[in-house]
Amino acid sequence: MSSSIIIPSIIVVAVTIGILSYYFGKKQSILRSLSKLKYKDILQFRTNEPTKVTGKVLHVHEPFIAPFTKRKCVAFEFKIQQKKSSGKNSYWKTLVKENNIQDFFVEQKGEVVMIKPNTNPVNLKIYLEADKKVSSGFLNDPTPEFQDVLSAYNINSANLFGFNRTLRYTERILEVGETVTVGGIAKWKALDTAINGYSYSKIAALESSDKQKIIITDLPAARVQKQQRL
């Protein structure tokens, strides 16, 4: 087969793979899932109706403290990776990867909706934007903040010869006070215990079902889309 045929074929395959990776990626999957749900103000919630809402994150329990940024948050994801070489190729090896999430409220127009995500069994899909990215390597020493994180996980920033390892860190958080969009099955729940500043006997909630997971994202695109199909 001639090169005039092979090269265009390779380009077509590469472009097709890129388009499919984008379309079926986690970010676009989250946005497509949210686009199928009805946007409602909290007071308009109808029991058992698939619903989404946008509002401000409020913590229920003592919030997490993000490892690098030290911000208060109700969810976080982070990973530390090291660049490795194998022959002529290089790749990123994940040294540490952690995530956690807790119950939280979404506040909208003075009303709140309760979100109770579970990780075992998993009842949610979540996509958070990267809040912090840092790296170190040749002629690029880790910042004191990055070094503190590395030390906390017993990772040496230098190799046996004293040269910096090529490392990178990515942190994603759902910060207290941040705007978030959440989708799920609308419910009204009786309050067993009083909530400070909340005088009603029932509270709205977004829950999961057999067919619908709780969807959580801080993507700005999720705030404005309504019935747009992606």
**Amino acid in the structure at residue 146:** F
Phi then psi dihedrals of residue 22, to 5 deg:
-70, -45
- Please state, in angstroms and rounded to a whole number, the distance separating the CA atoms of residues 224 and 116: 24
pLDDT at 58 over 60: yes
Instruction: Report pLDDT for 230.
Output: 37
The DSSP secondary-structure symbol of 140 reads B
What digits encode the pLDDT tens for the residues 14-29? 444 444 444 457 899 9
**Amino acid in the structure at residue 198:** Y
pLDDT at 93 over 70: yes
Domain residue spans of the chain: 37-222
Instruction: Report pLDDT for 1.
Output: 56
Phi then psi dihedrals of residue 166, to 5 deg:
-85, 105
Query: Span 41-67, mean pLDDT?
Result: 96
- Please state, in angstroms and rounded to a whole number, the distance separating the CA atoms of residues 112 and 43: 9
Q: pLDDT band for position 88 (50/70/90)? A: confident
CA angle 48, 53, 54 (to 5 degrees): 170
- Please state, in angstroms and rounded to a whole number, the distance separating the CA atoms of residues 68 and 22: 29
- The 8 Å CB, 24+ separation contacts for 83-87 are 83/137, 83/165, 83/166, 83/167, 83/168
58 close to 104: Cβ distance less than 8 angstroms: yes
Q: pLDDT band for position 50 (50/70/90)? A: very high
What digits encode the pLDDT tens for the residues 155-179? 999 998 889 999 999 999 999 999 9
pLDDT at 193 over 70: no
pLDDT at 106 over 50: yes
What digits encode the pLDDT tens for the residues 194-225? 666 555 678 999 999 999 999 999 999 998 54
The token pair at 172 is: 């994603």
Instruction: Report pLDDT for 8.
Output: 57
175 close to 57: Cβ distance less than 8 angstroms: yes
The DSSP secondary-structure symbol of 43 reads G
CA nearest neighbour of 131 among 62, 165, 178: 178
CA nearest neighbour of 195 among 106, 117, 112, 101: 112
